[in-house]
Amino acid sequence: MNKIPFVTKEQLDEITKTYPTPFHLYDEKGIRENVKALKEAFSWNPGYKEYFAVKATPNPFLIQILQEYGCGCDCSSYTELMLSDAIGVRGADIMFSSNDTPAEEFALADRLGAIINLDDITHIDFLEKTIGHIPETISCRYNPGGLFKISNDIMDNPGDSKYGMTTEQIGEAFRILKEKGAKEFGIHAFLASNTVTNEYYPMLAKVLFEQAVRLQKETGVHIKFINLSGGIGIPYTPDQEPNDIRRIGEGVRRVYEQVLVPAGMGDVEIYTELGRYMMGPYGCLVTKAIHEKHTHKEYIGVDACAVNLMRPAMYGAYHHITVMGKEGLPCTHRYDVAGSLCENNDKFAIDRMLPEVEIGDYLVIHDTGAHGFAMGYNYNGKLKSAELLLKEDKSVELIRRAETPADYFATFDCFEIGKKLV
């Protein structure tokens, strides 16, 4: 089975006349269609809001597309807050969900009027000492512990996760926050990552909805929203069925009607914090074959490396590869597709069956729109690539230039040697 790229070889031939490989390319049409489908799937909830996980794809040009559809920003660091502020996302349009949080990050979140989502009960005092008060609207992150299962399948292990409060802690946290002046409360949880099943969100919703009913009854707080966070995944392999967001939304609606409405909580707003689902399939890494090597294995060397896409090296993650112009040819050759880092795990694919690859061929590495460019680094002095947007009218816009050696050496500019390097 194959995945079909959203860009053609003919388009790449034109793009590379201006922008050399490697580069990340994003599909505006796909991004817009996806966010419209998401909003439709949760339109049954009047207060529904998507807070895009900035960490997944921290590019203001892409986030502004989502902003057109009413999406906010899920931020977890100082610079992510700065980025949101720069594009006019402020106040309750920011959800600040961090952990092990420095004081200056809480302070900036408060100045911007963001909804602060506390990761731990000890952060209540830390927050109050930092900003001098407790916000009237506040959220707490919940971790029920144990294993999270759907049927007999283990989806993830929340009990081994560093995030969130226990059942006992979140109840105590709500009581303390209420005493300190908080008036509107939210609950947040992230129990499994990259799930390719329509059952995850409804199952998570049931856990959180039941917890919300218990907390409101036991503590007397008013729960304004429940944040289902992320976890809806994408089909990285071509044989996986993609999630059906409309079925997911309907599943959450049914649980809402079963659990919250009978408890008199039919005014609760549903929030999501999707990243991978929002951008992952609508980005690709375009690279060029520049070497071939025939030793104990067959290698294709490309001009991208793990600096441009870290997931295969870090997780052994699968990303489908299309050899452009050879989409219809049989996959008769077994290759390791490798980059140039001085690390043996710098491989985009291992023992991957592909059509015969020739020097100069373009390779499209699929599904890099989330946690692709964002996870880049500069080991070996390698420089991060440009980011480009394939517009709906098929034109191409530069939305981040490629790094230069001057960028790499910029932090030496306060030293004499820096003047020679920059």
Active site residues: 342
Residue partners of 240: CB distance under 8 A and separation at least 6:
196
| Angle at the Cα of 349 from the Cα atoms of 345 and 353, rounded to 5 degrees | 145
- 8 by DSSP, 3-state: which? coil
Q: What SS3 class is residue 307?
A: coil
The span from the CA of 357 to the CA of 339, in Å, is 15
Name the phi and psi angles at 351, rounded to 5: 50, 45
- What SS3 class is residue 242? coil
- Sequence-separated (6 or more) residues with CB below 8 Å from residue 129: none
Phi, psi of 160 (to 5 degrees): -100, 10
Six-digit token pair at 88? 């006019």
- DSSP, collapsed to helix, strand or coil, labels residue 223 as strand
Exposed, middle or buried by CB within 10 Å (0-12, 13-18, 19+), for 172?
Answer: middle
Spatial separation of the C-alpha atoms in residues 170 and 363, rounded to whole Å: 48
Decide: residue 298, CB within 10 A, 0-12 exposed, 13-18 middle, 19+ buried.
middle
User: What single DSSP character describes residue 3?
Assistant: P
Rounded to whole angstroms, the Cα distance separating 119 from 272 reads 17
User: Which residues are bridge partners to 283 per DSSP?
Assistant: 26
Q: Decide if 354 contacts 371 (C-beta within 8 A).
A: no
